[in-house]
Chain A
Amino acid sequence: MAEIKLPAMSPTMEEGTLAKWLVKVGDTVKPGDVLAEIETDKATMELEADDGGVVSELHVEAGAEGVKVGTVIATIAGEDEEPAPAKKPVAEKAPEKAPEPLKGHGDEKAEATVTESPVIKAEAPQPPAPSGPTKRQTLREALRDAMAEEMRTTPEVFVMGEEVAEYQGAYKVTQGLLEEFGAQRVVDTPITEYGFAGLGAGAAMGGLKPIVEFMTFNFAMQAIDHIINSAAKTLYMSGGQMRCPIVFRGPNGAASRVAAQHSQNFGPWYASVPGLIVIAPYSAADAKGLLKSAIRSPDPVVFLENELLYGQSFDVPEGDDVVVPIGKASVVRSGADVTLVSYSIGVGVALEAAAELAKDGIEAEVVDLRTLRPLDTATVLASLAKTHRMVVVEEGWPVCSISSEIMAVAMEQGFDDLDAPVLRVTNVDVPLPYAANLEKAALLKAADVVAAAKKVCYR
């Protein structure tokens, strides 16, 4: 008897949906036969039999959501074994508790599982809900809607990248766009980052408004010459004549267990370059509103997403014309005792730390930078003037980082407001290791933020 367990089908997969059984009890299967279709956070995949035999039991019914990796989903009797008598064709229920279905979004296929990681909890801490009517959406859906809405109103906007069209996006962010806008505007490229980043920049110079998706920003290092030398500098070098309105977007920062070459925060790299706009949102509402602003901007934008946040749900304003201004930070939690400054996934860590600190009577103010260039130093300094203490929280390396920059700003422009040195809590200054315990030790943690905040409060 062989037990078939739900395998992890992607680095971030913790659970999946058993979309469809392709075998039934009593069927004889050969190695390689497809047993079931499994929907993961990234794609719908086929589960194949490793060994031949007779299907003796199916433990999970078709359509079950939230089936944890490792759950036994079927039993196959070896070919020389007696098949076990099937008591009932399909188990009544999935053995693991399925999460509440996500509400309020149109495309069920885009529904995705939430990834738990050392950095972010299964349910990301929520910023205050936006004003006005909202709907609950995952971040990936919000990004998709932002692109679709802008493509509907502006014919020059098109999306290009690896697997953005027929595959529906390596992380499902471009899901459905091909169907609505066609292959002329949703362009699958060869694996050719250097080439298509340059081609996109040239198309922007020629009057279009490209959205260039990098499957992850790790691969954009192959293309960084065009982001910086071609896109960022042309306006200046041409004395203001030649524009390059382009958005380079994709996931950035550490994902889960993909090790050093696929886990890096490039925010500080791009934020150091004059001529670029750099955006790194936390919530789905900000991601949508800022991506719309980025697409409308006449300047080149690097838009840094986070894979671990794609499946997280947030309240997003209703309506297709709600934008968030570029260059404005947001106070996502008010407090009088200490300021926690962060961006992207670090905001979730800061909010988690703030909740812990409140238990000890310390009220932290959390500032989400949202845009890394131009940096909203006014909001940061105003918060510092209120709390007199500051900790910078960054999922990334400490050296020459956004933290370094915020600390320098506090020193240069907020010195008189400081009652304690500014501290930073970041990832450990090493390439990200693979082993689970080492990875956990290397990444940003709320407990360290709590400790740093207590330190600057002399508690």
Chain B
Amino acid sequence: MARTPTGKSKAGTMEARGGWPRPDEPQRYSASRDELLEYYRQMVLIRRFEERAGQLYGMGMIGGFCHLYIGQEAVVVGMQAALEQTDSVITGYRDHGHMLAAGIPPEAVMAELTGRAAGISKGKGGSMHMFSVEHGFYGGHGIVAAQVPLGTGLAFAHKYKGDGGVAVTYFGDGAANQGQVYESFNMAELWKLPVIFIIENNQYAMGTSVNRSSSEDQLFRRGESFRVPGLQVDGMDVLAVRGAAQTAVEWVRAGKGPLLLEMKTYRYRGHSMSDPAKYRSREEVAAVREKSDPIEALKKEIIDGGHADEAALKEIDKAVRAQVTGAADFAEEAPEPELKELYTDVLLGRY
């Protein structure tokens, strides 16, 4: 549920709210049965996909860096549901979930992870560098926080063209300490650009917790110096995210300038596949899984609310498993890029 934290702030009773306009506190979204089942399906798809990617990494089918989204599924599913065709999305290197939520076929994503010609980037990008302009997905960027000014630029293009689009720009709690984020906040507010900044606060920048890296650990306040209003959202609750997304999209699309959403979330797996996991306890991870898992929570809500029974959800689970197995088989069997692809796509023009 969206909330304005009080006691947790280091600033104590100091009110971070300035005198400039800000949206009303978002309401938890009231979803239809079909919407609930679709959010459930998408979250399960991301979870199963990422589990399978982890296995393929262990088998040596996926190389290099591979950052899994397990635990954070509610953020991207709740946000994406509020977007329109004209909108654009950009994120960092933990991008598989964003691509699946954008409707990009799992085969094309998985085949990119295994470095095959059928991958969304022809096997030339890999886990961290995937794009699909067709789906309004602008990457997939490997340099921490680089996507923040790039997303601000996408918003600049929306405004310049007057196409009514909004740029949704995701970054992590680690990226939130990069200077270019604040350069972007400044220009976005100055020029009232249609951009939603989303900090996916999964509590750890690699192995460094927010408390050990951030003087202001209430990250939704990070825009206040630039008059960018911020809201903190329970990123483990897909309906809270969906509600906040509604508020944000309406605010930004109305030309009121940027908005910052801090999604409080958690990743169950390591920062990447090579994470030694020495910086937090097993108990901490187990406790979050036990008490706050976004998929389990939605499942319970669907069943308790009488929207569908367990058997119906099992059907969804089964279909997703088959889809992910199909994608993994495809990605394992698809051919590698031809060697001539080494030299293509460097420049578009002939000089």
The answer to whether B349 touches A229 (Cβ under 8 A) is no
**With A229-B146, A230-B146, A239-B345 in contact, is A202–B122 under 8 Å at CB?**
no
Q: How many residues of A contact B (CB 8 A)?
A: 45
Instruction: Identify the interface centre among B133, B183, B184: most chain A CB within 10 Å of its CB.
Output: B183
User: Secondary structure of the B side of the interface?
Assistant: mixed
Q: Is the CB of A229 within 8 A of B153?
A: no
Residues 128-170 of B contacting A (Cβ, < 8 Å): 129-134, 138-143, 146, 148-158, 160-161, 167
Contact A198-B148, Cβ < 8 Å, known A236-B345, A238-B121, A241-B121: yes
Which residue of the partner chain, among B124, B154, B351, contacts A206 with CB atoms under 8 Å? Answer: B154
Contact B139 A234 (CB under 8 A): yes
Q: B131, A194: Cβ atoms under 8 Å? A: no
Is A352 among interface residues, defined by CB-CB distance under 8 A?
no
B190 at the interface (CB under 8 A from A): yes
Number of inter-chain CB pairs below 8 Å: 159
Asked if residues A195 and B186 are in contact (CB atoms below 8 Å), the reply is yes
- In Å, the complex CA distance between A200 and B88 comes to 16
A101 to chain B, nearest CB (A): 39
Nearest CB of chain B from residue A16's CB, rounded to whole Å: 34
Alpha-carbon separation in the docked complex, A198 to B151 (Å):
9
Residues of chain A within 8 A of B344, CB atoms compared:
240
B347 proximal to A (CB < 8 A):
yes
On whether the beta carbons of B349 and A326 are closer than 8 Å, the reply is yes
Tell whether B346 is near chain A: CB-to-CB under 8 Å: yes
B157 and A190 contacting across the interface, CB-CB below 8 Å: no
Residue B14 is within 8 A (CB to CB) of chain A in the complex? no
A59 at the interface (CB under 8 A from B): no
In the complex, chain A residues whose CB is within 8 Å of the CB of B151: 202
Q: Give the contacts of A192-220 with B (CB-CB under 8 A).
A: 192, 194-208
Given A194-B180, A203-B154, A225-B146, A184 and B347 touching (CB < 8 A)? Answer: no
Residue of B nearest to A195 (CB): B183
B348 within 8 A of A: yes
Flag if A198 contacts B149 (CB, 8 Å). yes
Q: Using Cβ atoms and an 8 Å threshold, which residues of chain B touch A175?
A: none
**Residue among B124, B190, B351 with max Cβ neighbours from chain A (10 Å):** B351
Q: Which of these, B140, B142, B186, B347, contacts A192 with CB under 8 Å? A: B186
Any B CB within 8 A of the CB of A430: no
Q: A190-B187, A194-B180, A277-B351 are in contact. Are A240 and B345 (CB under 8 A)?
A: yes
- A204-B348 in contact (CB<8A): no
B174 at the interface (CB under 8 A from A): no
B348 and A202 form a contact (CB under 8 A): no
The 8 A CB mask of B282-313 against A (1 = contact, 0 = none) is: 00000000000000000000000000000000
B119 contacts the other chain (CB 8 A): yes
Q: Mark A343-372, 1 if CB is under 8 A from B, else 0.
A: 000000000000000000000000000010
Q: B142–A234 contact, CB under 8 A?
A: no
> Does A202 contact B152, Cβ atoms closer than 8 Å?
yes
Q: Is the CB of A206 within 8 A of B121?
A: no
Interface residue ranges of A228-256 to B (CB < 8 Å)? 229-230, 234-243
Query: Cβ of B119 and Cβ of A199 under 8 Å apart?
Result: no
Tell me which of A192, A234, A299 contacts B131 (CB under 8 A).
Answer: A234
Task: Indicate which residue in A206, A239, A243, A374 contacts B122 across the interface (CB closer than 8 Å).
Answer: A239
**A207-B157, A299-B349 known; A195+B187 contact, CB < 8 A:** yes
Cβ of B270 < 8 Å from any Cβ of A? no
Q: Is A325's beta carbon under 8 Å from chain B? A: yes
> In the assembled complex, how far is the CB of residue A133 from the closest CB belonging to chain B, in whole angstroms?
27
Considering the complex, which residues of chain B in the window 161-208 have a beta carbon less than 8 Å from any beta carbon of chain A?
161, 167, 179-180, 183-184, 186-187, 190
Residue of A nearest to B145 (CB): A198
**A235 and B348 in contact, given A158-B160, A192-B186, A207-B161 (Cβ under 8 angstroms):** yes
CB-CB nearest in chain B for A184: B160
B180 and A241: CB pair below 8 A?
A: no
Min Cβ gap B314→A in Å is 37
Which residues of chain A are near B184, meaning CB under 8 Å?
195, 198-199
Question: Which of chain A's residues have a CB closer than 8 A to the CB of B139?
Answer: 234, 237-238, 242
Question: In the complex, what residues of B have CB within 8 A of residue A154's CB?
Answer: none
Measured CB to CB, the residues of B under 8 A from A are 88, 90, 119-125, 129-134, 138-143, 146, 148-158, 160-161, 167, 179-180, 183-184, 186-187, 190, 344-349, 351
In the complex, given contacts A205-B157, A206-B153, A207-B161, what are 11 additional A-B residue pairs having Cβ atoms less than 8 angstroms apart?
A184-B160, A190-B183, A194-B180, A195-B184, A199-B153, A201-B149, A234-B131, A235-B347, A236-B345, A239-B119, A239-B124
What are 23 sample pairs from A and B whose C-beta atoms fall under 8 A apart?
A189-B187, A190-B186, A195-B183, A195-B184, A195-B187, A198-B148, A198-B183, A201-B153, A202-B153, A202-B154, A203-B157, A205-B138, A206-B157, A207-B161, A208-B156, A226-B146, A229-B142, A229-B143, A237-B131, A239-B119, A240-B122, A241-B134, A242-B131
